[in-house]
Amino acid sequence: MAMGMTGMSKCMSMCLDCADMTHTMMRMMLRPSGYDMTVMMAQMDACMKMCMACADECMMHAEMSEECKMCAEACRQCAAACERMMSAMKSMMPMA
């Protein structure tokens, strides 16, 4: 995000929150000890929602900020990757 732009505090905050959320998700996925599938699915869903919220916020500024446009695209790609991962994880879950 372009730091010199006024009125961008919400956008900047969303971008930082999204970065924190995706970093946490990555660390959880890479733990060698495995994970609880229910918790992982909830975290993945939250990550997906955070990415889409950030993308929506950044798109409000995309015409005046190339950084916001790139961030929105990256967030949408991350949300899509989370969705694909969730689908793959669901197929591995035992039937109840």
For the segment 41-93, what is each residue's pLDDT rounded down to a tens digit? 999 999 999 999 999 999 998 888 899 999 999 999 999 999 999 999 888 77
Domain boundaries, the chain: 10-26+36-91
Say if CB 55 and CB 79 are below 8 A apart: yes
Q: Does residue 4 surpass a pLDDT of 70?
A: no
Q: Does residue 5 surpass a pLDDT of 70?
A: no
Q: Does residue 96 surpass a pLDDT of 80?
A: no
Q: Name the band, by pLDDT with cuts 50, 70 and 90, for residue 2.
A: very low
Q: How many CB atoms lie within 10 A of CB 57?
A: 22
Cα separation, 41 vs 20, whole angstroms: 18
The rounded Cα 53 to chain-centroid distance in angstroms is 9
Query: 91 or 22: whose pLDDT is higher?
Result: 22
Cα separation, 23 vs 31, whole angstroms: 13
Say if CB 37 and CB 86 are below 8 A apart: no
Sole residue written with tokens 């890479």: 30
